[in-house]
Amino acid sequence: MARDYGTENWIDWCPGCGNFGIVSSVYRAFSELEVEPENTVVVSGIGCSGKMPHFIDVNGVHTLHGRAIPFATGIKMADPKLKVVVNGGDGDLLGIGAGHFVALGRRNLDVLVMMHDNRVYGLTKGQASPTLPRDTKTKALNTPSIQDAVEPLALALTSGYTHVARSFAMDSDHLKESIKDGMEHEGAAFLNILQPCVTYNDIHTSEYFNERIDKLEDWDPEDIDPTEAMDRSRIDEEIPIGLFYRDTETPTFEERIAEQLPSYQEKAPAEQDIEKNGKTILDQETFRSKFKGNLIRKEK
Amino acid sequence: MARDYGTENWIDWCPGCGNFGIVSSVYRAFSELEVEPENTVVVSGIGCSGKMPHFIDVNGVHTLHGRAIPFATGIKMADPKLKVVVNGGDGDLLGIGAGHFVALGRRNLDVLVMMHDNRVYGLTKGQASPTLPRDTKTKALNTPSIQDAVEPLALALTSGYTHVARSFAMDSDHLKESIKDGMEHEGAAFLNILQPCVTYNDIHTSEYFNERIDKLEDWDPEDIDPTEAMDRSRIDEEIPIGLFYRDTETPTFEERIAEQLPSYQEKAPAEQDIEKNGKTILDQETFRSKFKGNLIRKEK
Amino acid sequence: MTEKLNMILGGAQGSGLETTIQILSTAFASSGNGFLADREYFSNIKGRHSYAHAKISAEDIPRSIDSKIGLLGCMDAETLFTHFEDLVDGGYLIYDTSTEDKTQDSIKSIEDPLRERLEERFNEIGIDGTISSLVEYLKEEKNVEVIELDYPSILEDIQKEFDISSSQASRYVSSILIGAVTGLMGLEKEQVDKGIERKFEGKEKIAKQNIFLVEKVNEMVREEHGSPLKLEGAKLDEDELLMVNGNEIIGMGKITGGMRFQSYYPITPAADESFFIEQHASFEDEGSVLVFQTEDELAAITSCIGAALTGTRSATATSGPGFALMVEGLGWAGINEVPIVITYYQRGGPSTGQPTRGSQDDLMNVLYSSHGNFPRIVLVSGDHEEAFDDAVKAFNLAEKYQTPVIHLMDKFLANIVKTIPVPEIEGKKIDRGKLFDRKDYKRFADGPISERGFLGSEVMWYTGSEHDAEGNVSEDPENRIRMHEKRMKKLKIAGEEMDDRAIYFGPEEAENLIVGWGSVKGAILDAIDEMKEDFGYLHFRCFSPFPAKKVSSILEKSEVVIAVEHSYSPRVSEVVSLKTGYQIEKEVVKFTGRPIYRDELIDSLVNIIEGSDREVLKHGP
Amino acid sequence: MTEKLNMILGGAQGSGLETTIQILSTAFASSGNGFLADREYFSNIKGRHSYAHAKISAEDIPRSIDSKIGLLGCMDAETLFTHFEDLVDGGYLIYDTSTEDKTQDSIKSIEDPLRERLEERFNEIGIDGTISSLVEYLKEEKNVEVIELDYPSILEDIQKEFDISSSQASRYVSSILIGAVTGLMGLEKEQVDKGIERKFEGKEKIAKQNIFLVEKVNEMVREEHGSPLKLEGAKLDEDELLMVNGNEIIGMGKITGGMRFQSYYPITPAADESFFIEQHASFEDEGSVLVFQTEDELAAITSCIGAALTGTRSATATSGPGFALMVEGLGWAGINEVPIVITYYQRGGPSTGQPTRGSQDDLMNVLYSSHGNFPRIVLVSGDHEEAFDDAVKAFNLAEKYQTPVIHLMDKFLANIVKTIPVPEIEGKKIDRGKLFDRKDYKRFADGPISERGFLGSEVMWYTGSEHDAEGNVSEDPENRIRMHEKRMKKLKIAGEEMDDRAIYFGPEEAENLIVGWGSVKGAILDAIDEMKEDFGYLHFRCFSPFPAKKVSSILEKSEVVIAVEHSYSPRVSEVVSLKTGYQIEKEVVKFTGRPIYRDELIDSLVNIIEGSDREVLKHGP
Ligand SMILES: Cc1ncc(C[n+]2csc(CCOP(=O)(O)OP(=O)(O)O)c2C)c(N)n1
Ligand SMILES: Cc1ncc(C[n+]2csc(CCOP(=O)(O)OP(=O)(O)O)c2C)c(N)n1
Ligand code: SF4
Ligand code: SF4
Ligand SMILES: [Mg+2]
Ligand SMILES: [Mg+2]
């Protein structure tokens, strides 16, 4: 019997919030993939999106604003058997957390990053987020935003993510499949999710997206140049959704580590015994030989 | 008579360091542009590259590791008459400072960012920097680097810089011209400077670059798509240098501000009087009318 | 007829409570009453329980609120479940009769611990837990007078009257509450209408509909209950009052103080300040304040410093998590003697903690975060009036001593809405300190306080490394001693000027001395006013420089010294012990993030006098 | 013949001095002498003056160095200019006669203040400022015995002998110094060769050439001067010693303590620790330590926490500027009860400050940075031996109390190279604390110390917000009190276990008590050993929990209490006053970033006894 992955916590997003679409697609995706709750970790930042882990019945780590990626990185590196998914807001991942976002791409660590892209800072009452286009004045702004939007997919492609996709919170099937794809990819995967914020974003509404969304067809995301994917993913009149880019050649970070530390594959940090009967597993001899470079014998 | 822009401070870079090439090209560029020392500010981060301001006879602000850009941003926004140049290392700008690097592009503030790209962390003794290609083992590393290099120009283009170029520390003329171009551009300009580190980077040496450098010819950096510039700028067998991209249409941050605060152009923050005879310039009446939304009159 | 009334108005976050409060407070104030309201809400945008806890006074401007309330106005059932125990015997309750069958089980937003407590309590008092059983209990056992209104049917009426949709009508629940409250309190129609028109300026139709509804409910209530809560004739002198929360008054202070650059990254409870300043940014031709939303707090502080280097009065505003990212920049400003102001609103910690709740637990954090040693000035304000003065003063001190100033506020002050007299503006001093004035300029020459130049005037250097008088890096040991001493001496000089910022309230020699700072001021002053015992209050307005001499002399005079603070363990006791060696042995603390109420404070002080060493206050849902 | 020798070897950064020190120290140690050397260098990669200040002892392992030296070995003229005044009367000087015409004017790397002081001093002693005039002065006025070697001609010889280029030969200057020093000190050839072979393992040709050169110079020197500095027969018992700096010994401790994940962002003086661990990362089939270079310190601390959540013993290492970026993560670890270890090497602040110089000014910073309140354990080590034990202990405490541990070190300890006995490994306790062991797991149930589960074993939640036993966000006030008290109580429990971490050295009841911690330990112990007056030393190994009872009882016994610290104003006095109310009124401080020398400390203590309240130490270039 498939689990439903819900928790008992009351979900306190605004009625109609796009996050409901996201969390229910997560339930469906997890259910279809039959993920093991104790071996799965949802790591989130701070924001409306940051509340995700409390609503999903797998391990949840609700971290700091902007830092979900490095938390997730430590978790995954120390225990690579865990399936790790990051949920973050657009402010979280591309504003305060942009440096980590870039760094994850450079590593190609096997983590899926799901960005709840509502183009505003929801939880702090509607300020402009890094994905809000210039000259846009959403509800809570005094004046239109004067910063250009960052293009999340272009940034992911530039940074080296090996799986780059966009989906829409209100298209449950598309999103569910996108999540599954992202989780099945081995390497750093980025999934940008267009998410209506019914309270603060009165411009990029469900209707707005519905009118513009254009599902990728006849597009082969493999064996292409990242810049091709960038061009294809760009938002103009239409908003293309789907998987734009996938690269399965570039080794994952785990593979790169294992190449240098062969025991990593079998004995990742979390798998190692470090004590025997309450004592260190190092013995005097091992210590001496390990640090022989520092040992000096008295010459008689 | 042209100034030479040198200072009395002893330049303590390693003999042969590529930074010497950079600082002398700065002298030449400043000299040809006849920049006004008191109206020019060199802002730097921390690293070997961070020492730059002390060797140049214009205002110098030697800031924190990774934060040169936001310091420069505050300076330029508060006093837009100043010419502001940022000097940073590759670690400084694309490692710890990557978030700010992206944010500056989104603003198109009129600042030139010169990146001293030696592919290592010089001042902390040679660790891998974000531009060191994967599987490279420079002198001070225990093992080859396992992180992919970020492509600085691609990142700049993705982030919205409107002037994106590459030059080489040892090609004094090319570099001098590149600096002049960058300073004359109005908007966020990025200049990636390939810089040999003779002490820690034994792979990407002067010879290495000399053998591979390929100066852009027949390339019109205007009216093109950023992804075209990205493709052209990519480093393969050859390392193209020159100006890849220029966009003079996108309004600068200063222009965007002025559109919302019309007095900004004439009375930037640094230009405003805030006191008269040791008293606030606000009078009781202005205060009342400014904050009338909070004033409540007793009804008789 | 009474002179003061404590009331709670509650409803789901985002359901119009804010509007209710704004309109009512305007009505109270314009009828000459003093008003103060604390705002409590979850870290949530819509749906969770939120409330305003207000005191209205006919004779003065309130300084604190009481845990026991005379009036409870409910927008929904959760409000009644949450607050029913707060009503005084004989208090008044306004509620929606259509919710009478509701039990807490149907209300998902109630958190488990409250749910369990309610369960237990209902068992105890023997009711079935429906709203109607609860109302019955209040009537019978607590003599509560209940104003029973059928909200849906009232809304239906207005729906018909104006031919509007039911979803639109549902947004008018706030006006039902306004009507009922103003009815009970006997407010004049004009004053209420004024509040409504003001709130809906430019939206006349909506204003009209609300006025209609308010009047209707007002009449219904008066008819049945009269106006038993009418306050005795308002005695406030001022013709005009400011109605402000702490964020706003700080914004006003900063603008008055000549701030022209404010950088910020959004965070509760600081962001509203920047929003307010941005709304008031423009002085027509005179210039404007640049409000800059940065990518994070690292950029907020460093861009603020950059702006300050150009001679612009510059500030940033944040709370704990944001300040954590400002620590490195703070040190840079310290060693480079840059005048910046950080307005720091404390909220519940550690970490994300209780992002929308109050705290005073960050005093040591602002005093000691950052490596090495440099002078920093730390001002703290106890109420809105102090906050305004300090917001101006902060810039004067920053520029006079060329050093960062932290202005420590808290979430309570930030969100408390209060009527205050319009501040005197014209006398407000602006002191820009020693300015640059010669050739051959060296930024750090002739200490302790050097002449300050602006980027754009002469050539100068700055560096976060130890530097010489010119601002160039120097590792020389003797230069190090010179420059380090130069900087530290500034704090000493400032200390001499600022020894008055420990203020004593009370009789000449009080047997019991309360020590506190920040938003506890009001409750403490009100408590000692009322208590028979001989109490004094030592109120800090500055912790660095520390007014050690004055503090020691005051401490010596009392037998029992009690720290009162919103923290786990009083930070003020730590600082006092550190600076004077005096160990404060008694404490009243609260760390639930809810305000300290006058009445619970009095109770705890009684316990202290009777021998208790530590009182942990718990009131407030 | 003497038992101890203080020496300085100096040269330009990057010119081979490091090699000299490594080879010499190996030679000393393998001949049974104790060795300790402080390393001083600029924030510079090549060219600025750097030196090692060493003590070699035949009878014990040195704990401190003296400002006055018996031997000065110069690789270049700048060394002589910088250190000539440090030579004792009758000391020995090794220098390059080819530099005899040099004046300081030709040496660009000398900083202005030193330049001015030299100028003044040369005027005073009436010399023209050439190296030769200086040498003459030392001979005449200070009875210095001068070993005059013409470095270029010696290098020319070797160039010819092995047919190598002159640029290659120039890298052999270090061996000239080695030859001269070992000659004067009468070291056996085998011991020196051993050092060289070890250094140039795998590069036999280079080793051979160096051995040749060392022997040649050694003979030249012995011929002319004999071996007047030969140390009296080495008395150290150990057959085997570890030659380690502080970074290395911490690395060894961490590996022994079971650390399997270390994240870091490069920073002086912490980065070498991570580099060392990485070099020793692999245990063949047994596993390995993952050393992870992050993009910044925000990522270093948060990835470290992430790794710790999987049950991996995890740590990070940094200094002040990096720690500033870790503060927010620290608070998260605090509220989530995550066992992590932060090794913090203090350097000169504020801000970038003096990045390669030492300091102890960050104690309050590590104790109080971060908003809100949570238990943190702060261990401090006074020497390499303590550092090893504490590096292991830190993980045990972190896991036992499920809370972050900061292990506070400093730049002196990090860089000081020292011979120490090989630590006992097999007895080393590993205490993983209370572990998860049941169904229906709740991470934060049953406090104060809950059962700790690992991600990957059962389902659990973490959040930086206040949370319930399950780890889900809760804003309930009673839950808040429960959880806050749960966390804070852990520190109290830890305090009971750790009351022994204030250690008293000295006579039963000393009239004068020195209070200190960290790297001042050695100089203080050596100073009180020598002084006739009645002195005790209270040495802290932990500041949180604070061993208040023990400290108070020790403080009470002495009449004069003196804090000794590398800071502007002793942090230890602040903490002691804060925690006990005892105000330490005397202090010896040093904030030039140079080490405290035994002899200058003794002088300052004499002044203190004679009535001085504050002594600012200044020695060391
Ligand atoms: C260091 C820090 N700064 C600021 C905040 C305040 N904060 C909470 S959520 C948030 C932004 C949320 O926006 P986004 O990441 O887009 O998430 P959303 O709420 O839209 O899902 C901010 C700025 C914080 N928690 N920590
Ligand atoms: C917050 C912080 N972390 C670490 C350091 C240490 N640090 C100094 S320079 C440097 C890196 C320098 O590398 P890069 O930016 O490439 O400059 P380069 O020296 O190569 O010019 C680092 C990590 C610091 N100063 N501040
Ligand atoms: S504020 Fe926006 S993003 Fe947040 S819960 Fe409400 S609708 Fe959703
Ligand atoms: S370490 Fe490298 S970058 Fe730094 S000064 Fe030396 S050569 Fe230049
Ligand atoms: Mg968002
Ligand atoms: Mg670099």
Kindly identify the ligand whose nearest atom is closest to the C-alpha of A140. 3
Topology alike, domains C4-225 and C243-421: no
Tens-place pLDDT, residues C57-94: 999 999 999 999 999 999 999 999 999 999 999 999 99
Contact between A168 and A117 under an 8 Å Cβ cutoff? The reply is no
The one-letter code for the residue type at C67 is S
Inter-chain touch C353–D369, beta carbons under 8 Å: no
pLDDT at C235 over 90: no
Residues 489-548 of D with CB under 8 A from C: none
Inter-chain touch A146–B99, beta carbons under 8 Å: no
Half-sphere exposure in the Cβ direction for D410 (13 Å, CA): 31
The alpha carbon of residue D353 is apart from the nearest alpha carbon of chain C, in Å, by 4
Instruction: Give me ligand 5 centre to Cα A25, in Å.
Output: 18
Residue partners of C359: CB distance under 8 A and separation at least 6: C346, C347, C348, C349, C353, C410, C411, C566, C567, C591, C593, D371, D372
Residue partners of B296: CB distance under 8 A and separation at least 6: C26, C29, C30, C240, C241, C242, C243, C419
Give which of A61, A81, A86, A253 to mutate to test D binding, by max D Cβ within 10 Å: A61
pLDDT at D1 over 60: no
Q: Which of B17, B24, B138, B203 to mutate to test the pocket of ligand 4 (most atoms within 8 A of CB)?
A: B17
Q: Which residues pair with D290 in a beta bridge?
A: D261
Contact between D37 and D25 under an 8 Å Cβ cutoff? The reply is yes
The alpha carbon of residue D429 is apart from the nearest alpha carbon of chain A, in Å, by 5
Average pLDDT, whole number, for chain C? 96
Average pLDDT over residues C485-494: 98
Tens-place pLDDT, residues C181-220: 999 999 988 889 988 998 998 999 999 999 999 999 999 9
Contact between B130 and B119 under an 8 Å Cβ cutoff? The reply is no
Share of chain B above pLDDT 70, in %: 99
Question: C328 to chain B: which residues are within 8 Å by CB?
Answer: 64, 67
Q: Cα angle vertex B266, ends B260, B270, to 5°? A: 95
In the A/B pair of chains, how many CB contacts fall below 8 A?
97
pLDDT tier for residue C284 given thresholds of 50, 70 and 90: confident
DSSP string, D56-81: EESSS------SSEEEEEESSHHHHH
Give which of C338, C408, C475 to mutate to test D binding, by max D Cβ within 10 Å: C475
CA-CA distance, D205 to D202, in Å (whole number)? Answer: 9
Which chain D residue has the Cα nearest residue C581? D581
- Domain positions in chain D: 4-225, 243-421, 434-498, 502-616
Q: A203: how many CB neighbours lie within 10 A of its CB? A: 14
Of D47, D268, D295, the CB nearest to B96: D295
- End-to-end CA separation in angstroms for chain C: 29
Choose among B127, B107, B115: nearest CA to B175: B115
Of C325, C468, C478, the CB nearest to D328: C325
CA-CA distance, D94 to D135, in Å (whole number)? Answer: 10
pLDDT at D237 over 90: no
Q: C318: how many CB neighbours lie within 10 A of its CB? A: 26
pLDDT tier for residue A2 given thresholds of 50, 70 and 90: low
What is the per-residue pLDDT for D191?
A: 85
Average pLDDT over residues A49-75: 98
Q: Which residues of C386-406 are buried (b: 16+ CB within 10 A; e: fewer)?
A: bbbbbbbbbbbbbbbbbbbbb
Question: B124 to chain D: which residues are within 8 Å by CB?
Answer: 266-268, 271
Q: Could you tell me the two tokens for A127?
A: 């300020």
CA-CA distance, A174 to A161, in Å (whole number)? Answer: 21
Q: Could you tell me the two tokens for C115?
A: 């749910």
Structural domains of chain B in order of their starting residue, each with its CATH number: 2-253 (3.40.50.970), 254-294 (no CATH)
DSSP string, D106-162: G-TTS-HHHHHHHHHHHHHHT----HHHHHHHHHHHH--EEEEE-HHHHHHHHHHHH
Which chain C residue has the Cα nearest residue B11? C473
Report the topology of domain D243-421.
Answer: Rossmann fold (3.40.50)
Q: Could you tell me the two tokens for C544?
A: 């660095």
Residue partners of C290: CB distance under 8 A and separation at least 6: B77, B78, B257, B261, B264, B268, B269, C260, C261, C262, C281, C307
What is the per-residue pLDDT for D3?
A: 87
CATH 3.40.50.10950 matches D4-225: no
Residue A207, exposed/middle/buried by CB under 10 A (0-12, 13-18, 19+)?
exposed
Per DSSP, which regions of chain A are E strands?
A: 40-44, 59-62, 83-89, 111-117, 120-121, 127-128, 163-168, 189-194, 213-215, 239-246, 275-276, 279-280, 295-297
CA-CA distance, C168 to C172, in Å (whole number)? Answer: 7
Closest atom of ligand 3 to CA, residue A125: 1
What is the per-residue pLDDT for B2?
A: 64
Q: Quick one: CA torsion of A251, A253, A255, A261, rounded to 10 degrees?
A: 140
DSSP string, D419-465: EEEPPP-TT-B----SB--SSS--TT-SSSSPPB--BTTB--EEESB
Share of chain B above pLDDT 90, in %: 97
Average pLDDT, whole number, for chain B? 97
Count the helices and strands in chain A (H runs, E runs): 10, 13
The alpha carbon of residue D570 is apart from the nearest alpha carbon of chain A, in Å, by 34
pLDDT tier for residue D529 given thresholds of 50, 70 and 90: very high
| Signed CA dihedral, C96, C102, C107, C113: sign only | positive
Kindly identify the ligand whose nearest atom is closest to the C-alpha of C331. 2
Reported residue count of chain A is 300
CA-CA distance, C352 to D487, in Å (whole number)? Answer: 16
In the B/D pair of chains, how many CB contacts fall below 8 A?
54
CA-CA distance, D501 to D538, in Å (whole number)? Answer: 10
What is the per-residue pLDDT for C232?
A: 82
Contact between C263 and C294 under an 8 Å Cβ cutoff? The reply is yes
Contact between B175 and B25 under an 8 Å Cβ cutoff? The reply is yes
What is the per-residue pLDDT for C532?
A: 78
Tens-place pLDDT, residues C237-277: 888 999 999 999 999 999 999 999 999 999 999 999 999 99
Half-sphere exposure in the Cβ direction for C508 (13 Å, CA): 0
CA-CA distance, C59 to C66, in Å (whole number)? Answer: 16
Tens-place pLDDT, residues D331-376: 999 999 999 999 999 999 999 999 999 999 999 999 999 999 999 9
Average pLDDT over residues D533-562: 95
Tens-place pLDDT, residues D581-591: 999 999 999 99
Of B95, B146, B155, the CB nearest to A257: B146
Least confident among B261-265, D265-269, D579-583: B261-265
CATH number of the domain at C502-616, out of 3.40.50.700, 3.40.50.2000, 3.40.50.920, 1.10.760.10? 3.40.50.920
CA-CA distance, A83 to A70, in Å (whole number)? Answer: 15
pLDDT at B110 over 60: yes
Q: What is each CA distance from B41 to A241, B78, C240, D417, D554, in whole angstroms?
A: 45, 13, 48, 42, 56
Q: Could you tell me the two tokens for B291?
A: 């904050």
Angle at which helices C271-279 and C246-256 cross, to 10° = 50
Q: Which residues pair with B165 in a beta bridge?
A: B191, B243
What is the per-residue pLDDT for A300?
A: 65
Inter-chain touch A64–D329, beta carbons under 8 Å: yes
- End-to-end CA separation in angstroms for chain A: 75
Give which of C240, C265, C288, C416 to mutate to test B binding, by max B Cβ within 10 Å: C288
Q: Write down the H helix ranges in D186-237.
A: 189-199, 204-225
Which chain B residue has the Cα nearest residue C328? B64
What is the per-residue pLDDT for D586?
A: 98
The alpha carbon of residue D424 is apart from the nearest alpha carbon of chain A, in Å, by 7
What is the per-residue pLDDT for B204?
A: 98
Tens-place pLDDT, residues D28-52: 999 889 999 999 999 999 999 999 9
CB within 6 Å of ligand 2 — which residues?
Answer: B 46-49, 65, 89-92, 116, 118, 120-124, 129; D 265-267, 297, 321-322, 325, 352
Q: Which of A43, A46, A71, A114 to mutate to test the pocket of ligand 1 (most atoms within 8 A of CB)?
A: A46
Helix (H) or strand (E) holding C554: helix C548-557
Average pLDDT over residues A87-99: 98
